[in-house]
Each structure stands twice: as structure tokens, then as C-alpha cells.
Amino acid sequence: MNTPSLTVIALGGFLIAAGLYLVMERTLTRIVIGLAILGHGVNLLIIAAGGRPGGPPLLQSTAPEQMSDPLPQAMILTAIVIGMVTTAFGMALAYRSWRLTGHDEVIDEVEDRRVARREEREEVLEDLAAESTGELDPGVDYDAEATS
């Protein structure tokens, strides 16, 4: 059995990592590029995991043990089509956002800000409760101003 090359696996992992990094950005263009790179990395890993190369599976003259597995190739072909459509849709969203607002940055929603403020209030309340019960670390000066 032929094992996949370590270089192909490392390249697939690098593409997935780079794609995930770009997806975490706030601009739609980088998100779309990140999704495309992520898709290419996954496709590369699927083709590496597909097994050894062999003869075409549709020819009758090829022995079954010498045929290649057609499933990874079919999955990658489908993934390429879906990735192309996703990229086109994302670029259309980015273009529309740019035309309407002058930039393609994803803004925070009001509900996201409310959740963040609620978490901050809960942390402050927990600190106050810990301070009133005397559970705070005596070596830390909690009244000192934070400098940044």
C-alpha cells in the first residue's frame, strides 16, 4: 500500500491553518479567500487519503486490484463546484456591502454587544461577591488602576 507523502499532508495542514486564520478576520473579502483556501486544503487531504494511484475504475480491461478508488475524486469534484459557488456568493455579498457602506467589514450586531456587556457585569459582580466574602488573593492590589 502506498502511503501519502508527508509534504502533501503538511501542505494540506498549512492551507487549512491559513484558511482558518483568514476566516477569523472582519472583512468579507478575507473571509471568502479564507474559505477558498480552507476548501483547497481539505481537498488536498482527501486526495492524499484516497489511496494509491491506479487505473481508471470504469474500464473493463483493468483488474479490480489495480483500479483506483473513484470516491475521493468524486467528492473533490463536488467540493470544487460547491467551493466555486460559495466564493461567488461571498464575493457578491462583499461587493454589495462595499457599494452600500463603502467598506466590506463585518460589523458587530447589537445583541453581540449586549452579551459582551452582560458578561463584563457578571465578572464585576463575581469580584464584588468574592471581595465581600474575603475570598480574594491578599497579594493582589485590586484597587490599583490598570495601566495599558
- Grid coordinates representing 99? 457599494
> Going residue by residue through the chain (148 aa), what tens digit of pLDDT does each one get?
567 788 989 999 999 999 999 999 889 999 999 999 999 999 999 988 887 777 676 766 677 777 777 888 889 999 999 999 999 999 999 999 899 888 888 877 788 888 888 888 888 888 777 767 766 666 666 666 655 4
Give start and end residues of each alpha helix (H) in the chain.
6-23, 28-49, 70-101, 110-133
Specify the pLDDT at position 63: 75
